[in-house]
Each structure stands twice: as C-alpha cells, then as structure tokens.
C-alpha cells in the first residue's frame, strides 16, 4: 500500500479539490495523509483519511509562507511517505527538497496559474520570490496536473513540458433527496435569490458589481457565502448603501452544508474579471457546484467558464460588469420561464457528465504511471 502525503496551505475544511482527490486515492488502496494548518476559527474535521494541521505563529504574509514551508519540510523529512503531492506553488519548495533528499516521487497539482495571482502583481519582491521558486523547481518536475486546458497550455509553453495533465475541479454527484427548504435555512420564500459562493471572494471577482446591481432589481436577494479578502469591504459597502435587507452574508461552511443553500438559489453568479492571466483562464469550483445544484449560471466572458456555459446551454454570458447591465441580464434570466425550464433540463444532463465520478478516472491514470 502506497502512503501519499498531500500538502496545502489552507485549513482543509473548504478545500473540495484535495478532499475529493484524497478520497479517491484511499478508495483505490492508498494510505493518505492531508497536511494543512489550524486556524483559530477552523471548523472540526472528520475525514476517512489522515489529517495533520499545523498551528503556526504567523497567519499571513512572507513570514507565514516561510514558517509553513520550514515546518512542512521537517514534517515530510521524517513522515512515512512513498509519494509527495504539493498543491500549488506555495507548498512546492518544501516538497521538492524532501523529494530530493529522500528520493521520493513528487507530484505537483497546480490549482491555478500562481504567479498570475492579482494579489501579487504589484508586489515586485513577492512576485520575484515566487517566480524564482517556480523557475527553479518546475522544469525538474515529472508529474504535473492542473485544473484546465488553458493553464496546462500556459505551463507547457513556458517550460516546454508536454506532460502536464488536466484534472478539473468537478464535484461529486449530489442527491437532491431530503434537502432543506428555504424556511429551514432562514431564506426568504417570496424573493428570487442570486448566489455568489467560494473560499476566495477576493478582488476582481465581481462581487462589488453584483451588490450594486441589486439597486436596480426588485424582490431579489443576493446571498454571499464564503470568505475572502474583500468580504469585510463588501459588508461595509452593503451597510453604506442601506442594502442590509437585500444582501445576505453566510460564513464559510463544509460543502455538504453549502450545497443545501446553493440549490435553493435561482441564479448562480460567476463574475470574475479579465484583469489578470490567472482569472482569465480560471475554471472555478462554484461553476460546477451551480451545475450540480441545478441552477442557471450568469458568468463573465472568461474563456474556460464561458465555454462550459455556452456548450451546455445552462445560462448566459455577460459582456460587461456595469451594474445596470448585469441587473438587466438577471431580470431576463429570472422572468423567462420557458428558458429557465430549458436551462434546467440542460443542467441535469451537464450534472451527469461534469462530476467527479467521471473526472477521477483522469486522476487515477496519472497515479498509475507513478513508480
């Protein structure tokens, strides 16, 4: 039995991708440990695989990443392991060094185009550090997979590595039996609900414009679920605009709880902006969560997201983030009952195809190649 250690810098609770991957691996006779960190507000974990969460002195910034990688290095140096899996660039250096010292197989899962993150573009020293780590390690990697074809293409062109695989962020099929109703979850029964959800509600995600669009809509509630750097500012914005009765916030929650809210919404919003290369080619979890929940999608015109929405005919693509324009599109979506029925039929078909039960086969093909 192979022992696989997967490393992430989050607290494991809301990371659906690594949870699905870890579950698939243990279901295929591997012993798995998932390593992350423990935060003061971290929810308890109960998983079928082993977990190890480090309590760190620093919570963010350069000192956090330095402390995390040093602690991870020493953990991996002595832990039982046959295969090391680094998730994103911020866990790669410690994994790479230990894989060399201990002669272990290293697999890299690139969740995004990390050096294209908007948060680091104007921080030249920070960007330089990450670029240096990437340039040092990435060309030496033999086993890499990422979340979509566009990011795989970017890395292939950058490092001339033709063996970059794709494992998309598709959710497990969900059963709609015995889901709670709106009243049970404290949601209004007499209003339409728009939803934005995610663990990364950050800058340039379109949440501000969605809030402003609410000014032009009647009997519509915007539900924002999750966490991110702009959430405190979003709450201030709602207060200053006196939209407390029109915008609801919910904290991060496990997927099993989140999907109960998602399926009660009328439209799922995915409004990331084309302001950086990372967002341009993103394919966010929330898109596929909306599909599994069976709700039509309004998305921005980003290549990978729009391709899914248009191919499956499950919603509309916005060409602008101007609030009045967004409100007009939302109104069109909510009032066209015939179109809603067609979207829901297509969503049911998409949910059958775009699920982890199908995508995990691509993951297993990769692990079958490992020595």
pLDDT digits (tens, 9 = 90+) for 175-234: 777 789 999 999 999 999 999 998 889 888 999 999 999 999 999 999 999 988 899 999
Query: In this structure, what DSSP letter does residue 240 have?
Result: H
Q: From its phi and psi, is residue 219 left (phi > 0), alpha (psi between -120 and 50) or beta?
A: left
Judge: domain 182-353, CATH 3.40.50.300. Answer: no
3-170+356-368: which CATH topology?
A: Rossmann fold (3.40.50)
The yes-or-no verdict on residue 50 having pLDDT over 90 is yes
Determine the pLDDT at residue 61.
92
Phi, psi values for residue 225, rounded to 5°: -120, 125
Q: Give pLDDT tens digits for 269-283.
A: 999 999 989 889 999
Q: CA 238, CA 49: separation in Å to the nearest integer?
A: 41
Q: What is the mean pLDDT of the chain?
A: 95
| pLDDT (average), residues 22-40 | 96
Q: What is the DSSP string of 105-137?
A: EEEEEE-S-GGG-GGGTT-HHHHHHHHHHHHHH
> What are the C-alpha distances in Å from 199 to residues 118, 303, 336?
16, 21, 31
Determine the pLDDT at residue 14.
83
- Please report which confidence band the pLDDT of residue 303 belongs to, taking 50, 70 and 90 as the band edges: very high
Q: Give pLDDT tens digits for 100-139.
A: 999 999 999 999 999 998 888 889 999 999 999 999 999 9
| pLDDT (average), residues 151-165 | 90
Which H or E element spans position 220? strand 220-226
Sign of torsion over alpha carbons 225, 114, 203, 323: negative
Determine the pLDDT at residue 333.
97
Determine the pLDDT at residue 269.
98
Contact 15, 42 (CB under 8 A): no
The answer to whether the 3-170+356-368 and 182-353 domains have the same CATH topology is yes
Question: Between the CA atoms of 317, 322, 324 and 327, what dihedral angle is there, to the nearest 10 degrees?
Answer: 30
- Give the domain ranges of the chain: 3-170+356-368, 182-353
Place of tokens 């060409």: 319
For residue 37 the two structure tokens come to 């960190």
The yes-or-no verdict on residue 162 having pLDDT over 80 is no
Q: Give pLDDT tens digits for 354-370.
A: 999 999 999 999 999 99
Q: CA 371, CA 350: separation in Å to the nearest integer?
A: 35
Q: Please give the share of the chain, as a percent, with pLDDT higher than 90.
A: 86
- Please report which confidence band the pLDDT of residue 3 belongs to, taking 50, 70 and 90 as the band edges: very high
| pLDDT (average), residues 14-27 | 94
Q: How many CA atoms lie within 13 A of 158 on its CB side?
A: 16
pTM for the model:
0.89
Determine the pLDDT at residue 248.
97
Determine the pLDDT at residue 365.
96
Q: Which of 188, 171, 204 is nearest to 282 (CA)?
A: 204
Q: CA 131, CA 300: separation in Å to the nearest integer?
A: 28
Determine the pLDDT at residue 131.
96
- Please report which confidence band the pLDDT of residue 256 belongs to, taking 50, 70 and 90 as the band edges: confident
For residue 147 the two structure tokens come to 């979340």
């Amino acid at each position: 039995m192979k022992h696989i250690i997967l490393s992430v810098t989050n607290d494991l609770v809301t990371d659906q991708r690594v949870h699905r991957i870890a579950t698939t691996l243990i279901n295929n006779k591997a012993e798995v440990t998932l390593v992350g960190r423990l935060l003061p507000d971290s929810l308890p974990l109960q998983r079928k695989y082993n977990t190890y969460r480090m309590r760190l002195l620093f919570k963010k910034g350069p000192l956090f990443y330095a402390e995390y990688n040093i602690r991870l290095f020493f953990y991996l140096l002595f832990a039982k392991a046959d295969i090391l899996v680094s998730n994103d660039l911020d866990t790669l250096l410690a994994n790479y060094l230990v894989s060399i010292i201990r002669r272990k197989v290293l697999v890299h899962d690139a969740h995004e185009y990390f050096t294209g993150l908007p948060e680091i573009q104007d921080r030249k020293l920070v960007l330089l550090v990450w670029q240096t780590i990437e340039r040092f390690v990435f060309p030496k990697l033999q086993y890499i997979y990422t979340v979509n074809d566009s990011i795989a293409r970017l890395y292939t062109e950058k490092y001339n590595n033709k063996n970059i695989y794709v494992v998309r962020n598709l959710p497990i099929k969900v059963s709609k039996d015995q889901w709670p109703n709106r009243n049970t979850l404290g949601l209004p029964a007499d209003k339409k609900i728009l939803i934005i959800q995610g663990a990364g509600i950050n800058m340039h995600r379109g949440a501000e414009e969605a809030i402003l669009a609410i000014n032009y809509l009647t009997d519509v509630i915007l539900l924002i679920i999750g966490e991110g750097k702009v959430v405190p500012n979003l709450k201030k914005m709602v207060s200053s605009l006196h939209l407390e009765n029109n915008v609801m916030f919910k904290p991060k929650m496990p997927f099993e709880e989140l999907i109960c809210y998602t399926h009660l919404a009328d439209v799922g919003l995915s409004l990331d902006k084309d302001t950086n290369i990372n967002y341009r080619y993103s394919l966010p979890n929330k898109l596929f969560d909306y599909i599994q929940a069976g709700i039509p999608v309004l998305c921005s015109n980003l290549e990978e997201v729009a391709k899914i929405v248009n191919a499956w005919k499950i919603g509309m693509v916005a060409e602008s983030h101007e609030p009045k324009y967004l409100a007009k599109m939302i109104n069109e979506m909510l009032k066209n009952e015939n179109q809603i029925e067609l979207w829901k039929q297509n969503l049911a078909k998409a949910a059958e195809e775009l699920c982890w039960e199908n995508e995990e086969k691509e993951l297993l093909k990769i692990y079958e190649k490992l020595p």
